[in-house]
Amino acid sequence: MSIPREPNPAKPVIGLFMKEKSLLEPAASELVRMLGPADMVSAWLPFDYTDYYEPETGSPLFRRVFAFKELMQQDFLAEIKLMTNALELKFAENGKRRVNIDPGYMLHERFVLATGKNYSHRIYIGKGIYADLTLIYTKGSFQTLPWTYPDYADKTMFSFLGQVRNRYLSDMKNKKKPDIIP
Q: pLDDT value at position 176?
A: 55
Query: Structural domain boundaries of the chain?
Result: 11-172
Contacts of 30 (CB under 8 A, 6+ apart): 87, 90
Q: What is the pLDDT of residues 88-116, one digit of tens each?
A: 999 999 999 999 999 999 999 999 999 99
Mean pLDDT of successive 10-residue stretches along the chain, which has 182 residues = 93 96 97 96 88 90 96 96 98 96 98 97 97 97 96 94 97 71 65
137 to each of 73, 109, 144, how far by Cα in Å?
A: 20, 5, 9
Peptide bond preceding 178 in cis form (omega within 30 of 0): no
Q: pLDDT value at position 126?
A: 97
How many of the other CB atoms lie within 10 Å of CB of 146?
A: 5
**Sign (positive or negative) of CA dihedral 81, 82, 87, 93:** positive
Q: What is the pLDDT of residues 142-165, one digit of tens each?
A: 999 999 999 999 999 999 999 999
Decide if 14 contacts 96 (C-beta within 8 A). no
pTM, to two decimals: 0.93
Q: pLDDT value at position 9?
A: 96
